[in-house]
Amino acid sequence: MRIAIFGKQFSDVFRNSCSNLFRKLHQHDTEIIIYKPFYEFLVGNIDVKPKADGFFERKEDLKDIDLFLSIGGDGTILEAVTFVRDSSIPIVGINSGRLGFLADISKEEIDSAIDHIFKGNYKTSTLDLLQLHTENNLFGDMNFALNELAVHRRDSASMITIHAYLNGEFLNSYWADGLIVATAVGSTAYSLSVGGPIIHPKSQSLVITPIAPHNLTVRPIVVPNDMNITLKVEGRADKYLATLDSRSQIFDDGLELNIKKADFKIKVIDLPGINFNSTLRNKLMWGADKRNY
């Protein structure tokens, strides 16, 4: 098996678990290529020196990869998506931090997770992304997001107005600090923190969630993800901020933001005992009431 390993910096608390992960991988017939900046961090900062069969720094370096292993948190998974893109390489996330909703394998589960993978005891599933289209190609070829598109005010205390359209039909004008269009996967991220609903990842939906709306009658709305969503922003400023997952760009007043479901999906590994329902209970403390147990 040829595995690409991607990661970001983590605290010394995860050092032993990281060493154990590489030791476990080398017990199998594995060819490992590592994201070069991550390898340099491992060697230079925490004195972990994994045997590497090669390195990568761009998506073009990922040749004949069977599995993309992300070490970090959910933000690391989102960045991993920018490497994998439409290659259909399955991603699995190992959580080196605290929460980890997408990176759902804890350090205590590393041994069993690797055993399941090499025994083929897993399933794969796909996750929908959204894609942003603008006249000026605002994000270039990185115009997709696994979690959300967010529009924000910039350098101003004033609210902005976001006019939203579904398939060309006017939906609403949001007076707010901003607006989020989130995928079902992203419904448990930024959208949830500002009052949006939790959506099952297989529901094929998007949720439009205002950020601090001026009108209390405005609430999040769930729409089918095959709808085209158009946003037009206006306000006292002439520049605003758009983010796709962790990537941000400033855009000018008058630019239309057109959002639709991306024409590719991300493939992920589903291991035994780890699923959306258990993640809700364990990570978000869903139903954390002693009467339930």
Record the tokens describing residue 286, joined without a space: 């869903």
Output the furthest CA–CA distance in the chain (Å, rounded): 61
CB atoms within 10 A of CB 102: 27
Q: Which uninterrupted H or E stretch holds 231?
A: strand 229-235
Q: Which uninterrupted H or E stretch holds 115?
A: helix 110-118
Q: Which uninterrupted H or E stretch holds 276?
A: helix 276-283
Residue 263 annotated in active site = no
Residue of 29, 53, 74, 177 with catalytic role: 74
The answer to whether the Cα torsion of 112, 103, 60, 258 is positive or negative is positive
Characterize the bridge pairing of strands 54-56 and 31-35: parallel
Burial string for 47-71 (b: 16+ CB within 10 Å, else e) reads: ebebebeebbeeeeebeebebbbbb
| Closest CA relative to residue 268, chosen from 123, 72, 101 | 123
Amino acid letter, 62: L
State the catalytic residues: 74
